[in-house]
Amino acid sequence: MMALDPGDKGRFAVIIPVFNHGRTVQDVVRAALDLALPVYVVDDGSTDGGVPMVPAFPGVHHLRHAVNRGKGAALLTGFRQAARVADWAISLDADGQHAPQDALSLMRAIAPGTRPVVVGCRQHMQAQGAPWTSRSGRAFSNFWVRTAGGPRVCDSQSGMRIYPLPEVLHLGVQAMRYQFEVEVLVRAAWQGLPVIEAPIRVTYQSKEERISHFRPFADFVRNSTTFTRLIVRRIFGGPWR
């Protein structure tokens, strides 16, 4: 087990949303357990048969959606459960690209007495073999997050973050799929919740081994719809009221 010293920052829990990551999720869970924190694995309607082994890990709480509802919905399910025992939720993707030990970097970035959303800024993505869709998508997303009134960040699509509980549950985020992670940044800024960043590592599997649920047309439509809704709300709806 790793020696975690959150100081006076409160209690932490790990949330791992899963959808058909059967090949990678068990290794991710093992590494997350080394943090000596409660771990919540949220199976978002997986059909690949890889998640049922996870409950056998001591210290893991297994939550399940009967059907796929989206990454945002899975995160919210984990947040609600974790809020019973924790003040902060560390989100971690199940595909193995993140190093759970980098949670320490995110925790250290939290100044005493503050309640920010902490985003892990993935370093050296191109050198680590990140697909062009991830690199270009990050730049696209960063621009539109800022345009919608959100914070200026380097990695608005990062899946490794720390969220304050229960504040994140009351932001009113509507997007329930991958767009949750960008909308939460915009709404945090609207409501005066700080957003900060800390560097994290990233590892990408080869193209043949990589598990991706990216759907170019569907995700473009969803991204465009989310940002359009947020920008219209910012201009006409008075988001700060």
Residue at 155: amino acid letter: D
pLDDT at 204 (0 to 100): 81
Whether 7 maps to a domain, the answer reads no
CA–CA distance, 235 with 217 (Å, rounded to integer): 27
Q: Choose among 94, 105, 75: nearest CA to 178.
A: 75
Residue 29 has pLDDT above 60, yes or no: yes
Give the domain extent around 160. Answer: 12-237
Whether 74 maps to a domain, the answer reads yes
CATH number of the domain residue 225 falls in: 3.90.550.10
Q: Classify residue 149 by burial, with Cβ atoms within 10 Å: 0-12, 13-18, 19+.
A: middle
Query: For the whole model, what pTM was predicted?
Result: 0.89
Whether 116 maps to a domain, the answer reads yes
Residue 26 has pLDDT above 50, yes or no: yes
For residue 108, what are the CA distances in angstroms to 92, 145, 151, 182, 206? 17, 25, 20, 23, 32
Whether 1 maps to a domain, the answer reads no
Whether 79 maps to a domain, the answer reads yes
pLDDT at 208 (0 to 100): 47
Domain count for the chain: 1
Q: Report H helices in 109-160.
A: 132-147
**pLDDT tens string 130-183:** 665 566 688 899 999 999 999 999 999 999 999 999 999 999 999 999 999 999
Whether 130 maps to a domain, the answer reads yes
Whether 6 maps to a domain, the answer reads no
Whether 3 maps to a domain, the answer reads no
pLDDT at 207 (0 to 100): 55
Q: Classify residue 107 by burial, with Cβ atoms within 10 Å: 0-12, 13-18, 19+.
A: buried
Q: Please, which pLDDT band fits residue 239 given cuts at 50, 70 and 90? A: low
**Average pLDDT, stretch 120-136?**
71
Question: For the residues of 211-238, what is the DSSP string, one character each?
Answer: -----HHHHHHHHHHHHHHHHHIIIII-
Q: How many residues does the chain have?
A: 241
